[in-house]
Amino acid sequence: MATAYGAPDARISVFPTFLVVSLAPGQPVTQEPTKQLGGGLRLDQTAELYRLLRAAEHGAIDPAVGSRQVLAVVSMRPRFRTLVRVLGHALLTVGICMILMPTWSDLLLAGIFGLLVGLLKLTGARWSSLQMIMPVVAAFVVASVTFLLADSGWGEADLRAMVAPLCTFLPGAMLTMAVVELSAYEMVTGASRLVAGILQLALLAFGIIGAAQAVGVPTPGAPPGVETNTLGWWAPWAGTAIVGLGNYLMLAGPPRSLGWLCLVLYAGWTGQYLGGLVLGGYLSGFAGALVLTVVAYLVEQAPSGPPALVSFLPGFWLLVPGALTLIGVTEYLGESTVRGAEDLVDAAGSMVAIALGVLCGHPLYRALARTVRRFHPVER
């Protein structure tokens, strides 16, 4: 963009709270503070922002007009109404629960909790002061109800049954991108993102442990012999599609992007599944992230395909070890320190494998694109 607007020697450094810009060597440097958004961008906002970026890369928009349009994107209203977005959160929760091999009672609880947490998230989004404590509030409410139901004999007090309703608070993408940035020697941004992700995990774990103490139920583990996956082998595959639909509704996906979104999700899930069969364990996450990244960039090249980031970010809910990490932190802070430590080590290994898959996916896509252009040059 700098080259398109006549500053080919511009140098830009991005930090968590400010931006440093120099238009030419030896020229004055500008330091610009960055304003914290009230939460992340939705999918429709991300797609619109990328449209502006593509125009700016060709110098096709006046800078002042582009700056105003960026602010308009940040403040634009979502495509779907509040009720639809809450329903999307419930569907996303049900989809994640299906991937975690649930029982039918787990699935029912996940849907109810998904509606409740969706309402809490949208309510907290209106006041920035509530956003920081919302993970604690949601975790405390969900865990308290689950423990009370378990104490009454209605269901099992299994931590994994509580993870799905809290999935949108899990910083899986943040932790994985922190590893990616640290691997690329972006120490400041990577370390900042890593600390922020760990803090959010700690808040979630605090909410669960606080609920266990408040209602008088010991912190539960995942005891052996608990019945799992009474739905059948098809549950994770159907759950992938439901995760796609839930993300589309909750994050207000751009028009005509649902099919592409599900395609990328299924590609990543299939890569992870086959990787687990052939390579096992940690390398399954690497295979899933590699396939997910390549397919997301291929979809971006389609005439109606959304930007890679739009279809790529929801895939983290299928790949990142956020659920396992939350269980590990909670067990480690509670009574089951041995099991918690094992879960944390497993989650760290999976996170590194997924980050490596993302790191390798983009160069692989570029190599494939160069090969295709070499054998099938575009006619001008």
Instruction: Indicate whether 380 belongs to any domain.
Output: no
280-to-98, 150, 219, 273, 290 alpha-carbon distances in Å = 21, 34, 31, 9, 15
pLDDT in tens, 348-370: 677 777 778 888 888 888 888 88
* 20 and 95 inside one domain: no
Instruction: Indicate whether 342 belongs to any domain.
Output: yes
With CA atoms as reference, report the closest residue to 325 among 215, 221, 202. 202
Residue 128 has pLDDT above 60, yes or no: yes
Instruction: Indicate whether 1 belongs to any domain.
Output: no
**Predicted pLDDT at 87:** 93
Instruction: Indicate whether 29 belongs to any domain.
Output: yes
Residue 374 has pLDDT above 70, yes or no: yes
**Predicted pLDDT at 354:** 79
Residue 4 has pLDDT above 70, yes or no: yes
Q: How confident is the model at residue 258 (pLDDT cuts 50, 70, 90)?
A: very high
* 304 and 323 inside one domain: yes
pTM: 0.82
Instruction: Indicate whether 375 belongs to any domain.
Output: no
**Predicted pLDDT at 53:** 92
Assign 3-class secondary structure to 279-334: CCHHHHHHHHHHHHHHHHHHHHCCCCCCCHHHHHHHHHHHHCCHHHHHHHHHHHHC
Instruction: Indicate whether 376 belongs to any domain.
Output: no
* 307 and 271 inside one domain: yes
**Predicted pLDDT at 277:** 82
* 175 and 37 inside one domain: no
Instruction: Give me the mean pLDDT over the 293-307 stretch.
Output: 89
Report the share of the chain in percent with pLDDT over 70: 81
* 269 and 335 inside one domain: yes
Which of 26, 54, 75 delimits the end of a domain? 75
Lowest mean pLDDT among 31-35, 143-147, 179-183: 179-183
* 58 and 144 inside one domain: no
pLDDT higher at 229 or 181:
181
Domain that holds residue 349: 82-370
Instruction: Give me 173's structure tokens.
Output: 């993408």
Instruction: Indicate whether 3 belongs to any domain.
Output: no
* 12: phi then psi, degrees, rounded to nearest 5: -130, 130
Assign 3-class secondary structure to the chain: CCCCCCCCCCEEEECCCEEEEECCCCCCEEEEECCCCCCCCCHHHHHHHHHHHHHHHCCCCCHHHHHHHHHHHHHCCCCCCHHHHHHHHHHHHHHHHHHCCCCHHHHHHHHHHHHHHHHHHHHHCCCHHHHCCHHHHHHHHHHHHHHHHHHCCCCCCCHHHHHHHHHHHCCHHHHHHHHHHHHCCCHHHHHHHHHHHHHHHHHHHHHHHHHHHHCCCCCCCCCCCCCCCCCCCCHHHHHHHHHHHHHHHHCCCCCCCHHHHHHHHHHHHHHHHHHHHHCCHHHHHHHHHHHHHHHHHHHHCCCCCCCHHHHHHHHHHHHCCHHHHHHHHHHHHCCCHHHHHHHHHHHHHHHHHHHHHHHHHHHHHHHHHHHHHHHCCCCC
**Predicted pLDDT at 68:** 93
Q: How confident is the model at residue 323 (pLDDT cuts 50, 70, 90)?
A: very low
**Predicted pLDDT at 355:** 77
Residue 336 has pLDDT above 50, yes or no: yes
Instruction: Indicate whether 5 belongs to any domain.
Output: no
Lowest mean pLDDT among 130-134, 152-156, 158-162, 303-307: 152-156
The mean of the pLDDT values for the chain is 80
* 64 and 156 inside one domain: no
Q: ∠ CA(183), CA(187), CA(193), 5° rounding?
A: 90
**CB of 171 closer than 8 Å to CB of 196:** yes
Domain count, the chain: 2
**Predicted pLDDT at 129:** 67
pLDDT higher at 375 or 208:
208
**Predicted pLDDT at 193:** 85
Lowest mean pLDDT among 164-173, 285-294, 371-380: 371-380
* 218 and 344 inside one domain: yes
* 298 and 351 inside one domain: yes
Lowest mean pLDDT among 225-239, 276-290, 303-317: 225-239
Q: How confident is the model at residue 223 (pLDDT cuts 50, 70, 90)?
A: very low
**Predicted pLDDT at 56:** 93
Instruction: Give me the mean pLDDT over the 342-350 stretch.
Output: 65
Which of 37, 52, 75 delimits the end of a domain? 75
Lowest mean pLDDT among 161-170, 264-273, 364-373: 161-170
Instruction: Give me the mean pLDDT over the 81-95 stretch.
Output: 91
* 163 and 26 inside one domain: no
> What span, in angstroms and rounded, lies between the C-alpha atoms of 179 and 289?
13
Residue 220 has pLDDT above 50, yes or no: no
Which of 75, 91, 106 delimits the end of a domain? 75
- The type of residue at 74 is V
Instruction: Give me 212's structure tokens.
Output: 């266990």
Instruction: Give me 378's structure tokens.
Output: 């575009």
Q: How confident is the model at residue 266 (pLDDT cuts 50, 70, 90)?
A: very high
- In degrees to the nearest 10, what's the CA dihedral of 111, 322, 39, 254? -70
**Predicted pLDDT at 321:** 47
Report the share of the chain in percent with pLDDT over 90: 18
* 42 and 151 inside one domain: no
> What span, in angstroms and rounded, lies between the C-alpha atoms of 260 and 109?
29
* 242 and 353 inside one domain: yes
